[in-house]
Chains A and B, each alone.
Chain A
Amino acid sequence: QKEVEQNSGPLSVPEGAIASLNCTYSDRGSQSFFWYRQYSGKSPELIMFIYSNGDKEDGRFTAQLNKASQYVSLLIRDSQPSDSATYLCAVNMRRALTFGSGTRLQVQP
């Protein structure tokens, strides 16, 4: 089992729809969870972080964390073509930040 698992996609959604990206992790002791966005040929950039169970909202983005299920998700409301990118889930395990392999999101105009 990978330490941080994501569906590779691509996840295709129409413009204006809600995109839902999911991530599971193996270390039950993990405390910090992050979502990074990576455009093709560019470096990852941090878009959301969450530490506590529940939802955290920032603009069109909502991060959701369920530590009991070892599950973290990212919702993007009113998806735009500019949201098309790979979204990387990252989890603070017992050592350095561990990344999933990413989910590629395509928002269709």
Chain B
Amino acid sequence: GAGVSQSPSNKVTEKGKDVELRCDPISGHTALYWYRQSLGQGLEFLIYFQGNSAPDKSGLPSDRFSAERTGGSVSTLTIQRTQQEDSAVYLCASSTGGGNEKLFFGSGTQLSVL
């Protein structure tokens, strides 16, 4: 597609529910990143996929968080048993990879956990 697409744009959920956030990267981009941004804060790295390599999961804050990337394209970030502190904007970005970190960001998913 023309840009990185994320869905949904907004998600309101109740504490304890599971949520899935979707990211469709720019066509041909082999690298895909998930970041989290709390209000007024910087970007917190969550997970990084590069081609067929094992993903770098070192930023995932707990085992409630997981992510998959199917067919080297679309990625889903899953948060199980959501907590109020999970409320944030979840940003996905992609790049051409191979050490090129010129990231193109999606518009994000605003997650609110009540």
Contact = CB atoms under 8 A, between A and B. Distances in A.
Interface of A: 32, 34, 36, 42-46, 49, 88, 90, 92, 95-102
What band does the interface of chain B fall in when counting residues whose beta carbon is under 8 Å from A? 20 to 34
A88 B43 contact: yes
Interface in B74-114: 91, 99, 101-108
Given A34-B102, A97-B101, A99-B35, A43 B42 contact: no
Contacts of B56: 95-96
Given A43-B91, A43-B108, A99 B43 contact: yes
Contacts of B99: 32, 92
A98 B45 contact: yes
Question: Can you list the 10 inter-chain pairs with the closest CB atoms, starting with the nearest?
Answer: A101-B42, A96-B48, A43-B105, A99-B43, A97-B101, A99-B42, A92-B101, A95-B56, A96-B45, A102-B42
Contacts of A36: 103
Nearest to B31: A96
Contacts of B45: 95-99
B91 A97 contact: no
Nearest to B42: A101
B43 A96 contact: no
Nearest to B49: A96
Contacts of B102: 34, 46, 49
